[in-house]
Amino acid sequence: MIRYNQFDFTLDKFQQLCMSLDENNYSSLTMEEYLTTNSLPEKYIMMRHDIDRNPSKALETARIEQEYDIKATYYFRTVNDNLFCPEIISEVNEMGHEIGYHYEVLNECKGNYEDAIKLFEKNLKKFNDLGNVKTVCMHGQPLSKYDNRDIWKKYDYRAFGVIGEAYLSIDDSVNYLCDTGRNWNFDHCLRDYIPNKKESIHVNSTDDLIELVESGDISNFYLLTHPERWSANGFEWVLFYSKDIVINLGKRVLRVARTW
Ligand SMILES: [Zn+2]
């Protein structure tokens, strides 16, 4: 019988990961810090969280990170009031984490660039009313025909006081890993990838990742997680796990369909 503490992608496991990064002297960098520093630390961790579904889960990871002196970057969506939750966003920000806009305007405006940039500006203001937003990050929608990042082929985010985009402003010296698909590899990331980055280190579980942190072989990690995937108890774990199986199955079907 499998016990809860043997599961991966639990908050306990996330805590172990943060503890290991702290004990092995990885300095944390927010996205803004990464983009503005003159010299990168010898060893660093960039912890990025895309809040796709459940903002309250952001508070759980944010508190764990605070305990281990890790400053992370949290991107929130605005498509409905359940996702754009000013109290939660402010609380995460007050803990020392960076907050930014997880935009999807091209998809919302069905490919109309002029409407999309107006919507971007309007939504960015909602964030700027809560704190000074310096970076943004596109929300990837595998079922949509629009890539939200394409808006920057026509417009410049710098015109809105933004200094960087979490995919486009990162160079290929970072070791990018994401929790999409309940492992840390690229297999399930249809749109969660960094352009031009061909290879990355491969780990299959958070325990593997912790082992890599402890090995001292890797000088940096850029980790993307979705806090709603990290369960607080056995019941949540079974619930999230079944949801992910369905989503991954959908993506696999889509991938096959695209090759026709
Ligand atoms: Zn997203």
pLDDT tens for the 260 residues of the chain, in order: 555 555 889 999 999 999 999 999 999 999 999 999 999 999 999 999 999 999 999 999 999 999 999 999 999 999 999 999 999 999 999 999 999 999 999 999 999 999 999 999 999 999 999 999 999 999 998 788 999 999 999 999 999 999 999 999 998 888 888 887 667 875 545 445 555 554 567 788 999 999 999 999 899 999 999 999 898 876 666 776 677 777 666 666 666 565 55
Rounded Cα–Cα distance for residues 47 and 34 (Å): 11
Contacts of residue 226, defined as CB under 8 A and 6 or more positions apart, other chains included, come to 49, 50, 51, 52, 53, 179, 180
CA of 242 from ligand 1 middle (Å) equals 19
CA of 169 from ligand 1 middle (Å) equals 17
CA of 138 from ligand 1 middle (Å) equals 7
CA of 90 from ligand 1 middle (Å) equals 19
CA of 181 from ligand 1 middle (Å) equals 13
Q: Residue 118: what residue type?
A: K
* Model pTM score: 0.87
Pure H helices in 39-112: 55-67, 86-94, 105-108
CA of 192 from ligand 1 middle (Å) equals 8
Phi-psi domain of 196 (left: phi exceeds 0; alpha: psi -120 through 50; beta: other): left
- Domain 4-258 - what CATH class? alpha beta
CA of 50 from ligand 1 middle (Å) equals 5
CA of 51 from ligand 1 middle (Å) equals 6
CA of 139 from ligand 1 middle (Å) equals 4
CA of 182 from ligand 1 middle (Å) equals 15
Residue pair 140/251 in contact (Cβ under 8 Å)? The answer is no
